[in-house]
Amino acid sequence: MFSQAHRTTLKDLMVLAWPVVLARIGIMTMGLTDAIVVGHHSSKELAYHSLAWAPSSVILTTAVGLMMGVQVMTARMRGEGRHAEVGAVLRRGLIYSLQIGVAAMILLSLVGPFLLPRLGFEDGLGEGAALPLTIFALSMPAYLISVAAQFFLEGLGKPKPGMWAMWVANIINIGLNLLLVPDLLGLGIHGAAASAWATFGARTALAVFLIIYILRMPEVKAWGLFKKPARDRVAEREQITVGMGAGASNFIEVGAFSAMTVAAGLLGANQTAGWAIVINTSAIVFMLPMGLSSATAVLVGKAYGAGDHEGVKRAGWIGMGVVAVLATIVGLVIWPAAGLITGAYTNDMAVLAIAAPALALATLFFVADAIQVVAAQAIRAAGDVFMPTVMHFISYGVVMIPLGFLLAPSLGVNGLVWAVIVASLISGLLLGLRFYRVAKRATLTSHQATG
């Protein structure tokens, strides 16, 4: 029965979710802008961009997952009434983001350009992707600082500044792409490398805006942000643990999708460009459940911190229900419009012939993929950190990668999409069942304590 408590939770979810969703869509709109501008400049440059983005996205998404502890712990501190300690959460998050960002930058800059030319890609794709990858790497520290700041604001229940900052960064990214990709300024760079520099500029602007905004907030002194906090090893450990669980899951999932890009790269430039269009569009769609998962995690984390186990259960199931409905609607819109959408990326008829049917097929995994990401975040926010990681490993590592490489030689990009469909269904089922167990256990514990 849909009680007043359910209606309140649904309202809180939607109020928190829509700015978070728009902010997450803004993240992928940067990639969409890059792909469209580069794709119209040159299909081969789009393939370079896709191969450069693949290893970059693995490290980036893993690092973003490592920062998830900022959001969850900020929400828990609010739920526990420990408002004076949320500044310590952000301070730790900014230190972690800088450390992780510099390490990611060094790793990608040294390892990526060495490996890409040696993976056996056709048409010199590995050599062409090396420079864009290095430029993407340089933007890692600034971007992760912005992620820590954005997660902090979301954990506080203030997601709108992050949303506006992300869209300002998108405007900067669009402007830089239009200037740099065709080399209108005569700088001697163009295509994928120029687009990577546009991303660097936009990410730096995003970090600067968010840090200045937080420092100017009137509550900043009350949070203890300007003073060194007393050591709280339990909170430190929990923040790191939540981040490690989310980071490991992100690494597995995005690493698996990057492996699909490698499989496409082995098929040639047109297949790689076609897969890039499909995965880029699907990733933009994925930002809808990604945003709802963050909003759900904030509500679950706040209820968990307050000891409201019924609230944990209620927030998790409502989050999954809402995202299932929305993902269904999105899939029904994209399926008949697949040809129009792929046409926005490129005019190359050979690439369009690959991408359009594959994107229509990809709508089959939207709902399952949406449910699994919301369930995973709800489970972590309820204190069960590592089981989602195990389930992601089974679904995407054990099932999707081998299945994709098995199907790709005969079915091309469609084979890769079928592998994603199967993995998403398995992941959605496993994580939905896991949240059922977590919520049931928490509710039973609550009833026993009050009884």
372's CB contacts (< 8 A; 6+ apart) are 395, 424, 427, 428, 430, 431, 432
Residue 191 confidence (pLDDT) = 86
Q: What is the DSSP letter of 396?
A: I
The yes-or-no verdict on residue 1 having pLDDT over 60 is no
Residue 141 confidence (pLDDT) = 93
CB atoms near residue 299 (< 10 Å): 26
Cα(88)–Cα(150) distance, rounded to whole angstroms?
Answer: 15
Domain span holding position 359:
4-444
Share of the chain above pLDDT 70, in %: 96
Handedness of CA 104, 273, 29, 208 (dihedral sign): positive
Q: What pTM, to 2 d.p., does this model score?
A: 0.76
Residue 449 confidence (pLDDT) = 44
Extract the runs of DSSP E, i.e. beta strands, from 239-351.
none
The yes-or-no verdict on residue 444 having pLDDT over 60 is no
Residue 125 confidence (pLDDT) = 76
In a domain, 273, yes or no: yes
pLDDT per position as a tens digit, 104-148: 899 888 887 777 777 666 667 778 888 888 998 999 999 999 999
Residue 395 confidence (pLDDT) = 95
Cα(334)–Cα(234) distance, rounded to whole angstroms?
Answer: 46
Higher model confidence: residue 237 or residue 367? 367
In a domain, 450, yes or no: no
| Nearest-10 Cα torsion for 294, 299, 303, 304 | -10
The yes-or-no verdict on residue 2 having pLDDT over 70 is no
Average pLDDT over residues 238-246: 80
- Residue 450 pLDDT class (50, 70, 90 cuts): very low
In a domain, 240, yes or no: yes
Among the ranges given (231-240, 249-258, 263-272), the one the predictor scored with the smallest mean pLDDT: 231-240
Residue 185 confidence (pLDDT) = 82
- Residue 442 pLDDT class (50, 70, 90 cuts): low
Cα–Cα nearest to 62, from 256, 250, 242: 250
User: Average pLDDT over the chain, rounded to whole?
Assistant: 85
Quote helix, strand, coil % in the chain, to nearest 5: 85, 0, 15
**Angle, CA 437 vertex, CA 433 and CA 438 arms, to 5°:** 115
In a domain, 451, yes or no: no
In a domain, 340, yes or no: yes
In a domain, 282, yes or no: yes
Residue 443 confidence (pLDDT) = 56
The yes-or-no verdict on residue 189 having pLDDT over 60 is yes
* Tokens (6 digits) for 389: 């990681």
Share of the chain above pLDDT 90, in %: 34
Q: What is the DSSP letter of 382?
A: T
Residue 184 confidence (pLDDT) = 84
Q: Three-state SS for 232?
A: coil
Residue 231 confidence (pLDDT) = 75
Cα(395)–Cα(399) distance, rounded to whole angstroms?
Answer: 5
Residue with tokens 């923040």: 239
* Tokens (6 digits) for 266: 């082995």
In a domain, 449, yes or no: no
Cα(408)–Cα(262) distance, rounded to whole angstroms?
Answer: 11
Average pLDDT over residues 366-388: 90
CB atoms near residue 233 (< 10 Å): 7
Cα–Cα nearest to 51, from 182, 196, 179: 196
The yes-or-no verdict on residue 447 having pLDDT over 50 is no
Residue 369 confidence (pLDDT) = 93
Residue with tokens 């040809």: 339
- Residue 5 pLDDT class (50, 70, 90 cuts): confident
- The total domain count for the chain is 1
In a domain, 186, yes or no: yes
Residue 417 confidence (pLDDT) = 95
Average pLDDT over residues 81-103: 85
CB 44 within 8 A of CB 126: no
Max avg pLDDT among 220-229, 425-434, 442-451:
425-434
Handedness of CA 77, 16, 217, 239 (dihedral sign): positive
What are the helix (H) ranges across 67-139?
68-80, 86-115, 125-138
